[in-house]
Chain A
Amino acid sequence: MPENTREITLEEAKKLYNSSEEAKVFLLSKFTKEELEGKNIPTQEEFNKFFEENIFPLIDYSKTKFLDCNNGHVSKTPTSRIELNNSDNKWLFDYNYEQKNSRFLYSYKRVYLIFMKQFSLHDVDRNRLMKSLVEKHFNLSDIQPLRNQ
Chain B
Amino acid sequence: MTENTREITLDEAKKLYNSSEESKVFLLSKFTKEELEGKTVPTQEEFNKFFEENIFTLIDNSKTKFLDNNGNVSKTPTSRIELRNSDDKWFFDYNYEQKNQHFWYSYYRVYTIFMTKISLQDDDRHRLMKSMVEKHFNLHGVIPYMIN
Contacts and interface: CB of A to CB of B under 8 A. Distances in A.
A138 B92 CA distance: 18
A84 B64 CA distance: 11
Nearest to A57: B75
Give the one of A63, A64, A76, A99 with max B CB within 10 A: A64
Contacts of A41: none
B62 A79 contact: no
Interface in A70-106: 76-80, 82, 84, 93, 96-99
B61 A65 contact: yes
B77 A56 contact: yes
A99 B61 CA distance: 23
Nearest to A82: B81
Contact of A80 (B56, B62, B96): B96
A57 to B, nearest CB: 7
| Interface footprint category on B | 20 to 34
A137 interface: yes
B108 interface: no
A26 to B, nearest CB: 45
A82 to B, nearest CB: 8
A140 B79 contact: yes
Main secondary structure of the interface of A (DSSP, over half): mixed
Nearest to B79: A139
B113 to A, nearest CB: 15
A63 B77 contact: no
Contact of A62 (B52, B62, B77, B136): B62
A76 B77 contact: no
Interface string B38-67: 000000000000011000110101111110
Given A64-B64, A139-B96, A80 B77 contact: no
Give the one of B56, B61, B75 with max A CB within 10 A: B61
B61 A64 contact: yes
A59 interface: yes
A69 B137 CA distance: 10
A66 interface: yes
Given A77-B52, A78-B56, A78-B92, A93 B62 contact: no
Given A61-B66, A78-B59, A139 B137 contact: no
Given A62-B64, A99-B140, 7 more contacts: A52-B76, A56-B76, A61-B65, A61-B66, A78-B59, A80-B139, A82-B81
28 contacts: A56-B75, A56-B76, A59-B77, A62-B63, A62-B64, A64-B62, A65-B61, A69-B138, A76-B52, A76-B57, A77-B51, A77-B52, A77-B136, A78-B56, A78-B83, A78-B92, A78-B136, A78-B137, A79-B137, A79-B138, A80-B137, A84-B77, A93-B77, A96-B138, A97-B79, A137-B78, A138-B77, A139-B96
